[in-house]
A and B are shown apart, each in its own frame.
Chain A
Amino acid sequence: MTTYFIRRILLMVPTFLGSTVLIFIILQMAPGGPLERTIQQLQAGAMQQGESIGNVGDVMSGGSTVLPESAMRELKRFYGFDKPIYQRYLIWLGVWPRETKHREVEFSNGVTKVQKNVGRGNYMTLQLDGDRVIVYTEDGVVSDVWKAAIDQEGSKDGVILATIFQTEFSGILTGNLGTSYTYDQPVTEVMAPRFKISVFFGLTGLILSYVVCIPLGIRKALNHGSAFDFLSSVTIFVAYSIPGFALGGVLLVLFGGGSFWDVFPLGGFRSPSEIWEAMTFWEQVKDQLWHAVLPIIAWSIGSFAGLTVLMKNSLLENISQDYIRTAFAKGLQEKRVIWVHAIRNSVIPIASGIGGIIGVVIAGSYLIEKVFDIDGFGKMGFEAIIDRDYPITLGFLVIVVIIRLVANILSDIALATVDPRIRFK
Chain B
Amino acid sequence: MAEQKEISLSILKKRWLKFKTLKRGYYSFVILIILYGLSWFLPLLINNRALVVSYEGELFFPVISGYHAGSEFGQDVPGETIYRELKTSWKQEGSENWLLMPPYPYSPYEDITVQGNKMYEAPSDSHWLGTDNTGRDVFARLCYAFNISISFALVLTILNYIIGVIIGGSMGYFGGKFDLFFQRLIEIWSSLPMLFVIIIISSIIRPSFFLLIFIYTIVNWIGMTYLMRAEFYREKSKDYVAAALSMGQTNFKVMFKHILPNSLVPVITYFPFAVVGGISALVGLDYLGFGMPPPTPSWGQMLDVGLQNISKWWMVFAPVSAQFVTLIMVVFIGEAVREAFDPKVYSRLR
Residue contact A249 to B328, C-beta cutoff 8 Å: no
A residues 313-366 near B (Cβ < 8 Å) are 313, 316-317, 319-320, 334, 338, 363-364
Judge if A263 is at the interface, Cβ distance under 8 Å: no
Judge if A10 is at the interface, Cβ distance under 8 Å: no
A residues 105-157 near B (Cβ < 8 Å) are none
Q: What separation, in Å, do the CA atoms of A266 and B276 have in the docked complex?
A: 29
Q: What separation, in Å, do the CA atoms of A313 and B338 have in the docked complex?
A: 13
Q: Smallest CB–CB gap between B337 and chain A, Å?
A: 15
* Contact pick for B203, options A256, A313, A385, A396, CB 8 Å: A385
Q: What separation, in Å, do the CA atoms of A263 and B208 have in the docked complex?
A: 41
Q: What residues of A have a CB within 8 angstroms of the CB of B317 in the complex?
A: 250, 253
Q: What separation, in Å, do the CA atoms of A370 and B327 have in the docked complex?
A: 22
Judge if B155 is at the interface, Cβ distance under 8 Å: no
Q: What residues of A have a CB within 8 angstroms of the CB of B288 in the complex?
A: 367, 370, 382
Judge if B224 is at the interface, Cβ distance under 8 Å: no
Residue contact B287 to A240, C-beta cutoff 8 Å: no
The interface on chain A, measured as residues whose beta carbon lies within 8 A of the other chain's beta carbons, has a size of 57
Residue contact B349 to A319, C-beta cutoff 8 Å: yes
Q: What residues of B have a CB within 8 angstroms of the CB of A19 in the complex?
A: 188-189, 191-192
The closest CB in chain B to the CB of A238 belongs to B328
A residues 5-51 near B (Cβ < 8 Å) are 14-16, 18-19, 22-23, 26-27, 30-32
Most buried by B among A245, A246, A258, A385: A246
Judge if B244 is at the interface, Cβ distance under 8 Å: no
Judge if A400 is at the interface, Cβ distance under 8 Å: yes
Judge if A397 is at the interface, Cβ distance under 8 Å: yes
Q: What separation, in Å, do the CA atoms of A334 and B276 have in the docked complex?
A: 39
The closest CB in chain B to the CB of A247 belongs to B320
Q: Smallest CB–CB gap between A32 and chain B, Å?
A: 7
Residue contact B196 to A397, C-beta cutoff 8 Å: yes
Q: What separation, in Å, do the CA atoms of A405 and B319 have in the docked complex?
A: 36
The interface on chain B, measured as residues whose beta carbon lies within 8 A of the other chain's beta carbons, has a size of 46
Judge if B267 is at the interface, Cβ distance under 8 Å: no
* Contact pick for A15, options B188, B284, B287, B312, CB 8 Å: B188
Q: What residues of A have a CB within 8 angstroms of the CB of B345 in the complex?
A: 320
Q: What separation, in Å, do the CA atoms of A19 and B196 have in the docked complex?
A: 13
Residue contact B328 to A237, C-beta cutoff 8 Å: yes
Q: What separation, in Å, do the CA atoms of A19 and B187 have in the docked complex?
A: 9
Q: What residues of B have a CB within 8 angstroms of the CB of A364 in the complex?
A: 193, 195
Residue contact B348 to A225, C-beta cutoff 8 Å: yes
Q: What separation, in Å, do the CA atoms of A241 and B332 have in the docked complex?
A: 10
Judge if A162 is at the interface, Cβ distance under 8 Å: no
Q: What residues of A have a CB within 8 angstroms of the CB of B287 in the complex?
A: 245, 367, 370
Q: What separation, in Å, do the CA atoms of A424 and B284 have in the docked complex?
A: 38
Judge if B280 is at the interface, Cβ distance under 8 Å: yes
Judge if B242 is at the interface, Cβ distance under 8 Å: no
* Contact pick for B316, options A27, A240, A253, A367, CB 8 Å: A253
Judge if B311 is at the interface, Cβ distance under 8 Å: yes
Most buried by A among B196, B303, B320: B196
Q: What residues of A have a CB within 8 angstroms of the CB of B200 in the complex?
A: 26-27, 30, 385, 393
Q: What separation, in Å, do the CA atoms of A296 and B62 have in the docked complex?
A: 51
Judge if A205 is at the interface, Cβ distance under 8 Å: no
Q: Smallest CB–CB gap between A250 and chain B, Å?
A: 5
Q: What residues of B have a CB within 8 angstroms of the CB of A31 in the complex?
A: 204
Residue contact B196 to A386, C-beta cutoff 8 Å: no
Q: Smallest CB–CB gap between A350 and chain B, Å?
A: 18
Q: What residues of B have a CB within 8 angstroms of the CB of A238 in the complex?
A: 324, 328
Judge if B256 is at the interface, Cβ distance under 8 Å: no
Q: What residues of A have a CB within 8 angstroms of the CB of B311 in the complex?
A: 258-259
Q: 5 tightest CB-CB pairs across the interface, nearest first? A: A241-B327, A18-B188, A258-B310, A241-B328, A258-B311
